[in-house]
A and B are shown apart, each in its own frame.
Chain A
Amino acid sequence: AQKITQTQPGMFVQEKEAVTLDCTYDTSDQSYGLFWYKQPSSGEMIFLIYQGSYDEQNATEGRYSLNFQKARKSANLVISASQLGDSAMYFCAMREDPYNQGGKLIFGQGTELSVKP
């Protein structure tokens, strides 16, 4: 079963506008962590933001915020005031560890974001 689902293979946004990248997840654990990573065309994986399952407030990091709806099992990434440098692949990931095995990250298929000037 797909643990992390990103339903938008590609997205376009106009520079300076906000954009929301969707992510839904599937887990039966109470303790888990949700992450977003950015992968520019150069290939490196850049950590953007984290949301813990027990966090009461939505996470924010600069222009990035996470719209966390626990009951719906969704963790959408919101990028405000898009910049050309935001053009990249974005991955949602979940960390769960039901068997105390070190908590590997499971990634979604990614969303390719293109920012138009």
Chain B
Amino acid sequence: DSGVTQTPKHLITATGQRVTLRCSPRSGDLSVYWYQQSLDQGLQFLIQYYNGEERAKGNILERFSAQQFPDLHSELNLSSLELGDSALYFCASSVAGTVLDRTGYTFGSGTRLTVV
């Protein structure tokens, strides 16, 4: 157990639907990062939150949104789902998010989303 909890582990849903992925960071970590891993795109950074505030945005579609709550857990909302959104979605956390942080990220086990 890495200490980062992601739920659900698997999700199957239909096109056009909306889903919410949840992440609880490791105790003490203030930064939460969301990544999408698909076969053809590799690991793509979506968005980062630090202590409740959005810090950085990557290749996140407008149909996707996220937030970090006061208890530091984070949710990634995916709407108007398309077949191409099928992927493994990772949440990761880190203490502060500085470049010289030797501990890097701690990843959750991921949510495998299948859109049918």
A residues bordering B, Cβ < 8 Å? 29, 31-33, 35, 37, 43-45, 47, 50, 52-54, 91, 93, 95-97, 101-110
Contacts and interface: CB of A to CB of B under 8 A. Distances in A.
Nearest to A110: B42
A53 B112 CA distance: 34
B98 A103 contact: yes
Contacts of B97: 97, 102-104
Given A104-B33, A104-B48, A43 B104 contact: no
Contacts, number: 77
Interface of B: 2, 31, 33, 42-43, 45, 48, 50, 55-56, 58, 88, 90, 92, 97-107, 109-110, 112
A95 B42 contact: no
Contacts of B107: 37, 44-45, 47
Contacts of B2: 44
Residue picked from A104, A107, A108, A110, most chain B C-beta under 10 Å: A104
Nearest to B109: A44
Contacts of A53: 99
Nearest to B49: A102
Sort A-B residue pairs by CB-CB distance and give the 4 closest, nearest first. Answer: A102-B55, A45-B107, A107-B43, A102-B97
A91 B43 contact: yes
A44 B50 contact: no
Contacts of A101: 48, 55-56
Given A35-B104, A95-B104, A103 B110 contact: no
